[in-house]
Chains A and B, each alone.
Chain A
């Protein structure tokens, strides 16, 4: 009954080698978010989609890109991962009406 599913749960990559993380949802929520969280720090919003409308945070590095091909799926592309990009990446969804933010289990990225 998982509602927000992230894959892979663990990803190891080499410095500079592109990575794609995926998120799917069965909630039919309009809004999907990508957050970066480093060791017990606050989740930091990278960007969010309202339907197909993309909203990038001003301080999100250009190294991070996102795609949302349909309502159910959203991808996070890290074009050239650096050591500082090692983190947990959390996908979340919400609907405009209910407002509740529902998180996936996260994808932990290790950069060697």
Chain B
């Protein structure tokens, strides 16, 4: 079945450094890849997404890259701040409406 692997499971960085989270998906038909940030006790919030016809997308300090051949996509956060601390989930849309989530990365930004 469809599967999304996410690494690392935890990540600690110093404030101001960059953070990179990587995901791999199994369904080659996947065509949409969102990233969600979830703070403790809150709902997942979409922070950036990318479609399969694009290789890279950037929004201020956040960027996502997609390698369709390798079925990899990555989240890059530059100049990290303490408020970036949260759990981040990648997801891949398999089929038309089904979203499969990665296992999550707990990011800690140390002040």
Contacts and interface: CB of A to CB of B under 8 A. Distances in A.
A and B, one complex?
A: yes
Interface of A: 31, 33, 40-45, 48, 50, 55, 58, 90, 94, 96, 99-106
Nearest to A104: B43
8 contacts: A33-B99, A50-B96, A96-B96, A96-B97, A100-B34, A100-B46, A103-B43, A103-B44
Interface majority SS (helix, strand, loop, mixed), chain B: strand
Contacts of A40: 87, 104, 106
Interface residues of B, number: 24
Interface in B57-103: 87, 89, 91, 93, 96-103
A48 B94 CA distance: 13
A31 to B, nearest CB: 5
Contacts of A45: 98-100
